[in-house]
Amino acid sequence: MAVASSQRKRTAPLANAPTTNVPPLRQRRAWALLEKHYQKLKGVHLRQLFSEDPERGERLTVEAVGLYLDYSKNRITDETLQLLLQLAEESGLRDRIDAMFRGDKINVSENRSVLHVALRAPRGAVILHDGRNVVPDVHAVLDRMADFSNRVRTGDWKGQTGKRIRNVINIGIGGSDLGPVMAYEALKHYSDRAVTFRFVSNVDGTDFAEAVRDLDPAETLFIVSSKTFTTLETMTNARTAREWLLGAMKGEHGAIARHFVAVSTNATEVAKFGIDTANMFGFWDWVGGRYSMDSAIGLSTMIAIGPDNFRAMLGGFHEMDEHFRTAPFDRNLPVLMGLIGVWYNDWFGAQTVAVLPYEQYLKRFPAYLQQLTMESNGKHVTLEGAQVDYDTGPIYWGEPGTNGQHSFYQLIHQGTRLIPCDFIAFAKPLNPLGHHDTLIANVFAQTEALAFGKTAEQVEAEGTPDWLVPHRLFEGNRPSNTIMLDALTPAALGKLVALYEHSVFTQGTIWQIDSFDQWGVELGKALAQRIIPELESATEPKLEHDSSTNTLIRRYRKLKGAV
């Protein structure tokens, strides 16, 4: 167990906090049993586990909805699994899953339902929110998106000067950017190559400048994506985009309606910005930003790949939702992945998880997962507001293979930290140039090397001089999951994203935290709003920050020539 977590003191829940019927994590029976079990297992090598159980590599696998998970190269036994499953039961996971699908307000700190599963429910399904079936509303928006996407894709939707749209720029940040850009890159193979797609997120003006520098405003459509329509970065970029367009259109305000559409829950702010709400695609407060790529936030994705492919992606999400909702926990992909993650996080003290997709199109997948996992489970108090006395969400990071192998894998193989890895592979390449066996051989080679390593005897047997042996040996016993799918189709992407969404929820349930709020981003936002006028002020501002922040502000003002 990590030292830091054992030193952390749990505080009592506040008297008026919402209560759960689940005992604190350390008081659950399975926790104590897992503590004992960990002491037995921590020194056991994967070499031993595999040699004692030759069938392990076939047995510790699950296949469901076209996704194969090999979790045999984890430092677990049948007993570990049984105890982790017991922990899930004692943590009330079944009730929490039902509560989410039922539309209960499980996002307690914001008093909101969490119904991203409704975004991919088939037409005709019934999912209630405050007594109202939201599925028809979801499909009504999808139908409007499909109509709009088809008009852009066929050239029927024209810009102000009558030219067809050749460039689509999504302006958004966080969940209103990472999902769209990840999905666009992931599904580029299926996209309309006649249209250029770009994504502007950073408030750094360079992001916007580079995105538009070679584009004709008359052929450019902006999708301003923001759940709140108040986010500093997005609104700053949207205003710059409006000036850029109006500059080229000689100030004709009518051009905004042809070149700007909005995706938001906030019609009032959309109208205030000057976008006709007829060109607004809505979603709902029960969709969290990081769970929104399959809502209207996916409009750029739908324009890129077409409505049929978008619906196929939703179908993939839904298949995984149904699997998560109905499969027994011992055959449930998100539950197993979530529990194994908890095992490393809370007993082995693993601070990070590497996500390693061996598929170039998934190059933004680790970045996407960073928001999904870390904004969801980076929490320090329980649902009841008590300080946790164990570690919660780990740090997610990664790069597509094989590039990472020539960079950070050294540390994973021979460094001093335990880094559980998720390897993601597809059996069929989308660009069959004869490289695929080489690519996939690397997946298998890496997981094998990580698990089994190379002993001193093996290194010596190669004639290595004694002094060099320690440098060349591989301890092994480094755990990994291997996730394998047929090919990176829109449906496969939906399944993969939903797998991680539900695995994050599983972990949040064990840790008894609110995986659906993100209060941790607020303080920095508020401070920036206070500092902006201090940087812009024509006269020397009165600064009342700490001495470091005050000095930095003064130095910046001096360097930019403000004083």
The contact set with ligand F6P (CB under 6 A) reads: 173-176, 226-228, 231, 234, 289-290, 375, 518, 521
Q: Is 19 exposed, middle or buried (0-12, 13-18, 19+ CB in 10 A)?
A: exposed
CB of 239 to ligand F6P, least distance (A): 14
Closest to ligand F6P by CB, 115 vs 249, is 115
3-class DSSP state of 96 = helix
- The residues that are catalytic are 375, 406, 525
Q: Which residues pair with 397 in a beta bridge?
A: 354
Long-range contacts of 28-36 (CB under 8 A, 24+ apart): 28/87, 28/90, 28/91, 29/86, 29/90, 30/83, 30/84, 30/86, 30/87, 30/89, 30/90, 31/87, 33/83, 33/86, 34/80, 34/83, 34/84, 34/87, 34/343, 34/347, 35/1, 35/347
CB of 232 to ligand F6P, least distance (A): 9
CB of 298 to ligand F6P, least distance (A): 13
Distance CA 392, CA 378 (A): 6
CB of 522 to ligand F6P, least distance (A): 8
Distance CA 503, CA 498 (A): 8
Closest to ligand F6P by CB, 445 vs 521, is 521
Count the Cβ atoms, other than its own, within 10 Å of residue 549. Answer: 14
Closest to ligand F6P by CB, 375 vs 534, is 375
Closest to ligand F6P by CB, 24 vs 174, is 174
Closest to ligand F6P by CB, 18 vs 378, is 378
CB of 75 to ligand F6P, least distance (A): 34
3-class DSSP state of 241 = helix
CA distances from 59 to 73, 287, 427 (A): 11, 37, 21
CB 372 within 8 A of CB 353: no
Closest to ligand F6P by CB, 134 vs 235, is 235
Most distant CA atoms of the chain, gap in Å = 78
Structure tokens at 414: 């021979």
CB of 204 to ligand F6P, least distance (A): 16
Structure tokens at 377: 């489970």
Count the Cβ atoms, other than its own, within 10 Å of residue 353. Answer: 22
